[in-house]
Structure 1
């Protein structure tokens, strides 16, 4: 008599979703009660003290940013499965990722400077146009060239990393609510994570309802969202023309960005974080399913985004409570925690539940770090140079990612553990940057730290 061994497919406990959701809501609900007696104005909660014009702006901002985040998420829901449906081999998929990284490095690194010169409205229009072109290209072509899509989406992602932040800072400055930037940054991080969950739900529902042509409805949705964003930015986005010449911009950039050691520290911390996010995005699934373990990967990704949502709500607890904490202080420990998490995942074999917990901790820290770094950029980087600083700070991350994809993904000369350990080392160095920035930074009682 034979014995049949049934393999169990691992999936997260449903209570984990409930925990992350209610923890985020609980954090948002309690926040106004613990911050109402502090010296800091919580514009997003204290609506009575905020003009209606600013409330309308903040609401429209979060709406359009959420739609843009959904567009960003739609392109990566199916990933390799979508490529495989076109008959593309693994080597071709890796090569297309290399092309995308090269485009981010060569083109994306310069777009921030161009955005500073021509204005953030035009580069954000380019973001919408690129997503629109990719949607139309995939919708009309039976076997679309993955290189074209990879280049367009990579450039669009580069714009997404700085374009909307440039707009947010400029509008807050124009409306006289610069002190509310900290709230807006973490709300953007919160809505971005929620939108990525929504994009996964939308993509799976559209793909499962489209029969044989399982991606057609998905491309149609991308075209629709890109059109809405394009119309909104064109009609509603008001922008003062930038009159700076290339020569004056170069002199200002050299004096204020290249000549400031504190901004170099911020740039390196941003690059290390960006590289670690890309490494985790590529390697978390192979790490979880190592040794042939069967896992419902689609059920795990929402946990990561839920953890990032929870982490973003912690920003206002640190900066807006009765005893505010300097951004450099808690960022130092957040980078160290993430470095330890990746070190454990790289070199210590763990059960699936432990790995998922570790990656949830990583994403929670990312949700805390991203808006906090944006807040620090507001302290040190002039508004007219912000795009160039952000785009150039991501260049080391894109270069490192290109090397990883070529050596680790294409030639397979570098193991996944080594790649993840390299990302952990970068995060440790980013923690050192925060420690040094605290020494070189502005005095904690200056108004910038009340943002």
Structure 2
């Protein structure tokens, strides 16, 4: 492995460590022992859930190839997963609001465990069922857990600002440290113990089972709209009306879809971007480096959200612009650096520059997740939280399916350019969200001022 990879990983590790130990009292939120116990319980469960997800990711494609499937069949399996999330995600989100978020989290564990079990079969139909189950589980993972957390946090009367602490820690651990450890653990099972590519899926099922046991033993149930007379169609209509009637919710959904669509496209494209001539690159180590950059981003986000200024709506505009610029590097380097004609070998100069840009993008991803969670907790109504959050994922899944289907139809530079434009649009929409939020805040203060002036004086 070339020294470049060690240098980037070491530099990021030093920066993450420095950011964490340099936090002052202004960067920390004073909380209560009851909240700390609640937060730590959630972080343990969320980390186990994410471990179950991260263990599978690096080996899905590899497992399908060992079963003898070609690129076209594997592409269909991946499209089935995203299509399942799109078709069934809103339904399971609505059921979570109506039947209970805790129950939905348990359903996530069961569904994903069943998906892991299907990986033992080389039959295409069985694997397709597994992808459908995985798509349903993904919708539950990215809606039910957050919905349960927000509702339970409010039900227990904790300070609203403390939510940002839980969000940032969840991303720091679940999307950072746990992702790195899961990648190393999966590599340990497959390469060191030579248990085969299905071993990480078995390990994932074990982590999910442990997390489910903690949920069943320590979580209480909460609901969105528990009305028995409200069917799914009525819930969909209510969620759609909430999005249509509140521009802030609509803007938030568009911003989320644009950023996550770019993020998932990046996941598919970074490998061919760094090795256009079949250069030998350490995929696992690069993945760990990206996750370390994401940890840095979540650590920065925790410091930003611990302060009253700047507001999330304000600094996220800058984050989107930086992420847009970072994904332009493949286009810029194609003009400034002469492409190599040599097949194989180590990473090129262009690849090194692009990797630094990709690390910057991953740091923006680390800032994005806790920040979007905080904005969702502020703007999405509680009674239909899971339903609305899964509504947001419909355009995202459509976009990813289209990209997967046409991944070979356009050059990589075109795809990165498209993502960069999407992120600029996200920044513009974020600006609009800030303006609306500030305007409504001013109107509320003016109304309070008039109410205070109208109150009679008691003499």
Q: Which TM-score bucket, shorter chain as reference?
A: 0.7 to 0.9
TM-score (norm 1): 0.87
Q: Deviations over 1:337-396 (max 9, x none)?
A: 111221222453261211110100001011111111111112211122221121111111
Does structure 1 residue 281 correspond to structure 2 residue 264? no
Does structure 1 residue 222 correspond to structure 2 residue 204? yes
Aligned residue for 1:77, secondary structure, equals helix
Which of 10, 14, 19 does residue 27 from structure 1 map onto? 19
- Cα distance change on mapping 1:214 and 1:374 into 2, 3 Å: same
Which of 179, 182, 200 does residue 199 from structure 1 map onto? 182
- Distance (whole Å) between structure 2 residues aligned to residue 35 and residue 105 of structure 1: 38
- Distance (whole Å) between structure 1 residues aligned to residue 22 and residue 354 of structure 2: 30
Aligned residue for 2:163, secondary structure, equals helix
Contact persistence 2:171–2:295 (CA under 8 A): yes
Does structure 1 residue 427 correspond to structure 2 residue 410? no
What aligned pairs does 1:357-436 form with structure 2 within 5 A after superposition? Answer: 357-408=356-407, 412-436=408-432
Question: 1:111 Cα shift?
Answer: 2.4
TM-score (norm 2): 0.86
What aligned pairs does 1:304-323 form with structure 2 within 5 A after superposition? Answer: 304-321=290-307
- Distance (whole Å) between structure 1 residues aligned to residue 237 and residue 256 of structure 2: 24
- Cα distance change on mapping 1:393 and 1:346 into 2, 3 Å: farther
Question: 1:10 Cα shift?
Answer: 4.6
Larger displacement relative to structure 2 (157-166 or 13-22): 13-22
Contact persistence 2:5–2:286 (CA under 8 A): no
Contact persistence 1:10–1:296 (CA under 8 A): no
Contact persistence 1:269–1:430 (CA under 8 A): yes
- Cα distance change on mapping 1:246 and 1:442 into 2, 3 Å: farther
Q: Deviations over 1:396-426 (max 9, x none)?
A: 1110111111122xxx323332222222221
- Distance (whole Å) between structure 1 residues aligned to residue 368 and residue 425 of structure 2: 15
- Distance (whole Å) between structure 2 residues aligned to residue 217 and residue 266 of structure 1: 39
Which of 304, 318, 323 does residue 338 from structure 1 map onto? 323
- Distance (whole Å) between structure 2 residues aligned to residue 263 and residue 376 of structure 1: 10
Aligned residue for 2:432, secondary structure, equals helix
Question: 1:119 Cα shift?
Answer: 1.6
- Distance (whole Å) between structure 1 residues aligned to residue 179 and residue 401 of structure 2: 24
Contact persistence 1:332–1:435 (CA under 8 A): yes
- Distance (whole Å) between structure 2 residues aligned to residue 59 and residue 165 of structure 1: 15
- Distance (whole Å) between structure 2 residues aligned to residue 284 and residue 269 of structure 1: 22
What aligned pairs does 1:173-188 form with structure 2 within 5 A after superposition? Answer: 173-177=154-158, 178-188=160-170
Contact persistence 2:190–2:197 (CA under 8 A): yes
Q: Which residue of 2 aligns with 1:79?
A: 60
Does structure 1 residue 154 correspond to structure 2 residue 127? no
Which of 274, 298, 305 does residue 284 from structure 2 map onto? 298
Which of 295, 304, 309 does residue 324 from structure 1 map onto? 309
Aligned residue for 1:294, secondary structure, equals coil
Gaps of 5+ in 1: 1-8, 37-41
Aligned residue for 1:441, secondary structure, equals helix
Question: 1:443 Cα shift?
Answer: 5.7
Which of 226, 230, 247 does residue 246 from structure 1 map onto? 230
Q: Which residue of 1 aligns with 2:340?
A: none
What aligned pairs does 1:60-209 form with structure 2 within 5 A after superposition? Answer: 60-139=41-120, 141=121, 145-177=126-158, 178-192=160-174, 193-209=176-192
- Distance (whole Å) between structure 2 residues aligned to residue 326 and residue 429 of structure 1: 20
Q: Deviations over 1:75-131 (max 9, x none)?
A: 111232221111111111111111112112111233222221222112211210122
Gaps of 5+ in 2: 338-349, 445-459
Which of 232, 245, 267 does residue 214 from structure 2 map onto? 232
Aligned residue for 2:24, secondary structure, equals helix
Question: 1:253 Cα shift?
Answer: 2.8
- Distance (whole Å) between structure 2 residues aligned to residue 103 and residue 324 of structure 1: 40
Paired residue total: 422
Aligned residue for 1:13, secondary structure, equals helix
- Distance (whole Å) between structure 1 residues aligned to residue 370 and residue 61 of structure 2: 30
Q: Which residue of 1 aligns with 2:457?
A: none
Q: CA RMSD in A?
A: 2.3
Does structure 1 residue 264 correspond to structure 2 residue 264? no
- Cα distance change on mapping 1:240 and 1:316 into 2, 3 Å: closer
Q: Deviations over 1:257-300 (max 9, x none)?
A: 32101111110000011101110111101110012322112211
Which of 4, 13, 16 does residue 5 from structure 2 map onto? 13
Q: Deviations over 1:199-225 (max 9, x none)?
A: 1011000112443x4134323312211
- Cα distance change on mapping 1:325 and 1:443 into 2, 3 Å: farther
Q: Deviations over 1:117-156 (max 9, x none)?
A: 22211221121012211222334x3556431222222221
- Distance (whole Å) between structure 1 residues aligned to residue 149 and residue 208 of structure 2: 20
